[in-house]
């Protein structure tokens, strides 16, 4: 009887093991884990970064195993971005691609992220070198600065007072471009133009509008406002219209065709420039993917593959640049406004 019980127990155990084995065979193989790339922008609700997000999504679709986490503070501040990066570290994302509100304030938190194995790249507005692996500039700073002064000069006949309405006083890219613009104004070609003021709207529509109104009322001889920010150029254009100064004060700078078409047709803006933010977000995502997947050339002094944008060279400081800014005017703004 005891032997019969032992045999019965052994048989039952065999059946259970067999059933378990069958269950394992039927279980579906786990889906390959996606690479999570967080795009941290200066602030949400900004058309430029919304377009960059679209480009990131296009890249993710092509790469197939990439998930984009699009985030940013509601108002542009380093503190808001630091809080977000802390959260992303906890989420153990694979890469962070960020347009920085402050080049230095973010360094401690991005160094912490990199110490945890997260690849940190900056784009548009950069982080200081020690706080990232790569900085992707949308264009060359010299070309951007020269372009904006030349557009202002063409609008006012090369003579008169001009002012600059920038984003925040800490914005890396804005400050570099303003520095270039000041140097360009020293050239003989622009000697009859005078920069009378530089103000900051913090990339907030209401504040930028107030700063533009202040420029117009404080400088009665003002002939042009240069706004190297899509929020600022839109706000300055509205201010010129509201003050009844269309044709007397011209606005130029960097803007989105979809937002600037009306201002161009009203005569407030004769021409403006911008690179394609869709391509910028697309290329930044590909670059992050290259670093995460360990592409051999994804390093300072190397290059990254960027899909339809080709190969992007990285200099010894970990910096890379895309194309020169493109000019938009009455002849082409409607065409491009349907795209971004």
Identical fold, 35-138+277-323 and 141-274: yes
- 301 DSSP 8-state letter: T
> Between these two residues, 172 and 38, which has the higher pLDDT value?
38
As given in the structure block, the two tokens for residue 163 are 């002012």
Region 108-134 average pLDDT: 98
Q: Which long-range CB contacts under 8 A does 310-317 form with residues at least 24 apart? A: 312/136, 312/283, 312/287, 314/134, 317/129
As given in the structure block, the two tokens for residue 73 are 């503070």
Q: What is the pLDDT of residue 7?
A: 35
Residue 29: is its pLDDT beyond 60? Answer: no
* Residue position matching structure tokens 């219209």: 241
Give the confidence band of 142 by pLDDT, cuts at 50, 70, 90. Answer: very high
Q: For the ranges 18-22, 74-78, 122-126, which has the lowest average pLDDT?
A: 18-22
Q: What is the pLDDT of residue 324?
A: 85
Residue 148: is its pLDDT beyond 90? Answer: yes
Mean pLDDT of the chain: 92
Q: What is the pLDDT of residue 11?
A: 37
Q: Each residue of 72-90: pLDDT tens digit?
A: 999 999 999 999 999 999 9
> Is the dihedral angle over the CA atoms 194, 197, 203, 206 positive or is it negative?
negative
Residue 151: is its pLDDT beyond 50? Answer: yes
Helices (H) and strands (E) in the chain, counts: 11, 14
Q: What is the pLDDT of residue 198?
A: 98
Give the confidence band of 339 by pLDDT, cuts at 50, 70, 90. Answer: confident
Give the number of residues written for the chain.
340
Q: What is the pLDDT of residue 26?
A: 39
Domain boundaries, the chain: 35-138+277-323, 141-274
Residue 10: is its pLDDT beyond 80? Answer: no
Give the rounded percent of residues in the chain with a pLDDT score beyond 90: 89
Q: Each residue of 209-248: pLDDT tens digit?
A: 999 999 999 999 999 999 999 999 999 999 999 999 999 9
Q: What is the pLDDT of residue 164?
A: 98
What is the CATH T-level fold of the domain 141-274, as seen in this structure? Answer: Rossmann fold (3.40.50)
Q: Each residue of 169-188: pLDDT tens digit?
A: 999 999 999 999 999 999 99
Give the confidence band of 60 by pLDDT, cuts at 50, 70, 90. Answer: very high
Give the confidence band of 257 by pLDDT, cuts at 50, 70, 90. Answer: very high
What is the CATH T-level fold of the domain 35-138+277-323, as seen in this structure? Answer: Rossmann fold (3.40.50)
Region 297-302 average pLDDT: 97
The phi and psi torsions of 267 (rounded to 5 degrees) equal 90, 0
Q: What pairing do the DSSP bridges indicate for beta strands 160-166 and 222-227?
A: parallel
Q: What is the pLDDT of residue 50?
A: 95
Interhelix angle 172-184/141-156, nearest 10 degrees = 60
């Amino acid at each position: 009887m005891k032997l019969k019980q032992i045999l019965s127990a052994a048989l039952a155990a065999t059946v259970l093991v067999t059933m378990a084995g069958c269950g394992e065979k039927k279980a579906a193989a786990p889906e390959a884990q996606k690479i999570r790339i967080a795009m941290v922008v200066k602030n949400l609700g900004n058309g430029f970064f919304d377009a960059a997000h679209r480009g990131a999504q296009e890249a993710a679709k092509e790469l197939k195993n990439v998930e984009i986490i699009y985030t940013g503070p509601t108002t542009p501040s380093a503190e808001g971005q630091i809080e977000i990066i802390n959260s992303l570290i906890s989420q153990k994302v694979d890469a962070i691609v960020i347009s920085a509100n402050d080049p230095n304030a973010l360094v401690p938190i991005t160094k912490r992220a990199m110490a945890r194995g997260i690849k940190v790249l900056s784009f548009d507005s950069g982080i200081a070198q020690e706080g990232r692996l790569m900085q992707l500039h949308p264009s060359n700073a010299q070309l951007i600065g020269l372009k904006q002064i030349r557009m202002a000069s063409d609008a006012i006949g090369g003579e008169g007072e001009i002012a600059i309405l920038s984003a925040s006083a800490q914005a890396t890219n804005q400050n570099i471009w303003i520095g270039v613009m000041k140097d360009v104004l020293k050239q003989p070609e622009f000697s009859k133009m005078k920069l009378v003021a530089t103000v900051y709207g913090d990339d907030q529509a209401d504040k930028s509008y107030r700063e533009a109104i202040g420029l117009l009322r404080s400088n009665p001889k003002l002939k042009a406002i240069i706004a190297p920010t899509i929020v600022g150029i839109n706000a300055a254009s509205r201010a010129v219209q509201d003050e009844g100064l269309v044709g007397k004060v011209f606005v130029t700078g960097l803007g989105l065709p979809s937002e600037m078409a009306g201002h161009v047709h009203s005569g407030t803006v004769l021409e403006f420039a911008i690179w394609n933010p869709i391509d910028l977000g697309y290329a930044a995502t590909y670059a992050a993917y290259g670093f995460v997947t360990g592409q051999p050339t994804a390093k300072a002094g190397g290059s990254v593959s960027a899909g339809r944008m080709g190969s992007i060279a990285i200099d010894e400081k970990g910096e890379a640049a895309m194309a020169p800014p493109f000019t938009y005017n009455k002849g082409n703004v409607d065409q491009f406004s349907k795209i971004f």
